Structure 1
Amino acid sequence: MTEVLLAGLCTLDILQLVEKYPADNEKVTALTQTVAAGGPATNAAATVAHLGGTATLLTAVGRHPLAAGIHADLTSLGVRLTDLTADDPGPPSVSSIVVSAGTGNRAVVSTNGAARSISPLPDLPAVLRDISAVQVDGHYPELAVAVLTEARRQGIPTLIDAGSWKAVTPALLPLLDVVVCSADFHPPGITAPHDIAHFLTDSGVRWIAISRGPDPLLRWTGSDFREQPVPRTPVVDTLGAGDVLHGALTLAVARRWPLTDASFAEALDEAAAVASRSCASFGTRSWMSASRSSRTDSC
């Protein structure tokens, strides 16, 4: 079984589906709710496990009572959690998310874990010994740099969920093999897709793509972009779709490494199909149940 390591943020996500967002000082009754572990690396790990890979998550959770919900969710999904702050009594990062039933749009209030430090780091050579690919999300910068550095030393492919530019990004880019960035990822003073691709190439990144929601992915060939269509699906909730994309991509890259232009395109198509499926149901876990039911019905 393909083993993947993901390092980064873990939150407790509380999601409410509503007919409309509340106005100031207004209360609305949710149509439904769900609670799950969240965060880019965490949702990616859940995706890897759902797709049949072995997912190890390096993150910070702690021993606050709220952490029990995170542990229960990840255990049910088969994600191997390595909590680097297991003795921390403080609460985990929490995200409060309101999703509009009419549009699938969302409003999010969250903490990003910046106040929690991770030290000491684990024995990374041993942790990575049987790993086939590594993904970081840029949260916990010291952890991200250490994981990518050791992965590079061991010849393990490295990826990042590049949702936005972070202060640590310049230190990470030379350690990365694959960068799939969102349309909101802009190096300082750079906005045009071609300029972003050249910037990443100059930083040492070989495999590059830009995700643009429902619009075609842009895959960099080394000299230009090729468009790769994203499967259409009725959108209920886009929360976590980018995380799902990166989790599915990391597993697909691990199974195809070393990459060629053709196999990178295949990996992107495979990941985009999974991410699109995740938008057809509410929350970050319901799509997995729907996927399992579909596979059972087809047997």
Structure 2
Amino acid sequence: MLDCLFIGSATKDTLLMVEAPPASDQRIAASAVVHACGGVASVAASAFQKLGGSAGLITVVGDPSDVTDFIASNIAERQLPYVDLIRVPGTDSPFSTIQVEASGKRCITHFGGCIRQLTLDMLDKNVLADAKMIHLGGLEEHFCGELAAYCKRNTGALVSVDGGNLSREATDRMLPYVDVFIPDDKTVAKVLGCSPEDACLYYAERGVRISCVTMGDKGSVAYAGGTFHYAEPVRVSVVDTTGAGDNFHGAFLYCLAQRWNLDYTLRFCNAFSGLTCQGLGGLAAEPTLEETLRKMEE
């Protein structure tokens, strides 16, 4: 039985270090380039596995190409206990071009490709039934809601959803079937137009057991059982914030598997995701469990 099954996107990311993104009709030079495997579900699964959990991954790739080969090779190197790399003929694999500024902020151009073609009948229902937790991220939002409902009705798994960039309509539709819902503060401001605390209450009132909002350099806030919990960010030398939220999700689910209290969980996740910002790309600087615990003691 898997501790957590991650379902969603895996991408090839091309990251370019730049002084500032170009304006229209402007050409700029990059000082460095890195090709990395990203994607919401892929990075979160890697974080969970790196910390010591048993992670499975279901994702989608398209026709044979350099992008498809890169994604498949990177996932294979991680040696996850279970991987279902679903191939969709006649489509392209997902990829992103990410321009990273000196501050660590970035501009992302993303092509989702075949991830939009994933449907419920493509998934092995026995694997879903055998997972203790199921995390959904980077999926087409209507399908994300459909899959969350299926998992809640047909499995005993805790259902977690990465709420980043989901519309209000899609969010409202899936919340009754979600145990853990974590968006970022930019999504909250855009979709709900309220504070992170009010957003946590909004999600809880619609059935979520643990609601949390990540706030970048302001830390994180969570709400469960009628109580708010807060954690300050950690101090790190930021190179790139790509994948920090995805790494936070993987670490959060690891903490739930350990049955750690929510205050400690937020501190741990802030430390883990903060440390990942010291490398270019979401996987380059993922810390170990021991490194994360040492960072918490500083």
TM-score by length of 2: 0.85
For 1:66-107, what per-residue CA distance to the aligned partner results, in whole angstroms no more than 9, with x for missing partners?
A: 2000011111122343133x142322122111111x211111
2:263 is aligned, of 254, 262, 265, to: 265
Structure 1 residues 248 and 12: alpha-carbon distance in aligned structure 2, compared to 1, 3 A threshold: same
Considering fraction of residues, name the structure with more helix. 2
Moved more, 133-142 or 5-14: 133-142
Distance in 2 separating the partners of 1:115 and 1:285? 21
For 1:27-46, what per-residue CA distance to the aligned partner results, in whole angstroms no more than 9, with x for missing partners?
A: 44432222122221111112
Q: Once the 2 structures are TM-superposed, how far is the Cα of residue 269 of structure 1 from its aligned partner?
A: 2.2
Structure 1 residues 142 and 189: alpha-carbon distance in aligned structure 2, compared to 1, 3 A threshold: closer
Residue number in structure 1 paired with 2:247: 244
Q: Does residue 226 of structure 1 match 2:224?
A: no
1:208 is aligned, of 211, 218, 237, to: 211
Structure 1 residues 16 and 195: alpha-carbon distance in aligned structure 2, compared to 1, 3 A threshold: same
**SS of the residue 2:70 aligns to:** helix
Residue number in structure 1 paired with 2:182: 180
Residue number in structure 2 paired with 1:142: 143
Moved more, 37-46 or 24-33: 24-33
Number of aligned residue pairs:
286
Distance in 2 separating the partners of 1:221 and 1:293? 27
Structure 1 residues 194 and 245: alpha-carbon distance in aligned structure 2, compared to 1, 3 A threshold: closer
Q: Once the 2 structures are TM-superposed, how far is the Cα of residue 231 of structure 1 from its aligned partner?
A: 1.6
For 1:110-149, what per-residue CA distance to the aligned partner results, in whole angstroms no more than 9, with x for missing partners?
A: 123487322433232x112432211112613325532553
Residue number in structure 1 paired with 2:78: 77
What does 1:144-159 correspond to in 2, within 5 Å? Answer: 145-151=146-152, 153-159=154-160
**SS of the residue 2:280 aligns to:** coil
Q: Once the 2 structures are TM-superposed, how far is the Cα of residue 224 of structure 1 from its aligned partner?
A: 5.1
2:180–2:210: 8 Å Cα contact kept in structure 1?
yes
Q: Does residue 165 of structure 1 match 2:163?
A: no
1:114–1:139: 8 Å Cα contact kept in structure 2?
no
Q: Which amino acid aligns with 1:183?
A: D
Distance in 2 separating the partners of 1:13 and 1:97? 7
Distance in 2 separating the partners of 1:206 and 1:76? 35
For 1:160-193, what per-residue CA distance to the aligned partner results, in whole angstroms no more than 9, with x for missing partners?
A: 1111332422222111111222112338555133
Q: Which amino acid aligns with 2:183?
A: C
Distance in 2 separating the partners of 1:208 and 1:195? 11
2:181–2:211: 8 Å Cα contact kept in structure 1?
yes
Structure 1 residues 83 and 227: alpha-carbon distance in aligned structure 2, compared to 1, 3 A threshold: same
Gaps of 5+ in 2: 293-298
Taking only aligned residues, the RMSD between alpha carbons, in angstroms, comes to: 2.7
1:151–1:158: 8 Å Cα contact kept in structure 2?
yes
TM-score by length of 1: 0.84
Distance in 2 separating the partners of 1:230 and 1:220? 17
1:148–1:158: 8 Å Cα contact kept in structure 2?
no
Residue number in structure 1 paired with 2:238: 235
